[in-house]
Amino acid sequence: MSAHPHKDPARRDLLSGGAALLSAAMALTSSPVEVQAKDYASRSEALDEIDRLASLCDMRLGTVRRSRASAGVLVSRFLTALAKHRATRDDVRRRFGLPKGADLGSQLGRVDDDLPGLRQSLDDLMIAYAESLPVFGDSNVVSRLAVDMVEVSKLKTVIDLWVEAEVG
């Protein structure tokens, strides 16, 4: 991996499609195996990016709750989960002596209440977690963040199923 962050949409799409696609791509490229993703230069940079994407998910969930009364309970559970993840990241920052993350709530502008948009935001968050794991270099931290990443995957799948149900 390079020392500097990059964001190549094609490569990120490849990874976001899951390991099956990753494997297929690797089969097409010459060896040695090269896993390409966004690289984070530091733990702080990774945590800042995850915080930003999680705040966007918070905002989207808020707009969904306002526009769909029936989603209130589900959205509350999602927001509770994301708040718990935020606490985990704050703890990780303390562990590494990093400054507290910024409160991004008022810096992200307006968001729509559409479910596909929420789904995309959760996907972006999940990918950021996965891409950040190598930068931490600490077994305990990797394990804790992976647990939260898996929970984000479940949240995203719930929204997937919700979208499918609405389309159906």
Partner 1 sequence: MNPRREFFRRAARNAGASAFVFSFLEGRGEALPKNEETDIAILNAALGLEHEAIGLYGDALLRNLVPAGLRDYAVEFKGAHEGHRDTQIEILRERGFTAVEPHKVDPIREVSAGDPVLRRLLSIEAAAESVYLRLIGQIRTNDYLLSAGFIVVDEARHQTVWRRALGLSIY
Chain residues in the site for partner 1 (CB under 8 A): 1, 15, 18-24, 26-27, 31-35, 37, 74, 77-78, 126, 129-131, 133-134, 139-143, 146-147, 149-158, 160-161
**What's the closest the beta carbon of residue 66 comes to partner 1, in angstroms?**
20
Q: How far is the CB of 135 from partner 1 (least distance, A)?
A: 9
Q: Which two tokens stand for residue 64?
A: 């969904």
Beta-strand runs (E) in the chain? none
**CB-based contact 62:117 (threshold 8 Å):** no
Closer residue to partner 1, CB minimum distance, 102 or 161: 161
HSE of 26 in the Cβ direction (CA atoms, 13 Å)? 14
> CB 110 → partner 1: shortest distance, Å?
26
Shortest gap between Cβ of 28 and partner 1 (angstroms)?
Answer: 11
**Alpha helix positions (H), 17-71:** 19-28, 43-67
Query: What's the DSSP call for residue 70?
Result: G
Q: Cβ closer to partner 1: 17 or 105?
A: 17
Instruction: Give the residue with the Cβ less far from partner 1, 99 or 167.
Output: 167
d(CA 6, CA 46): 12
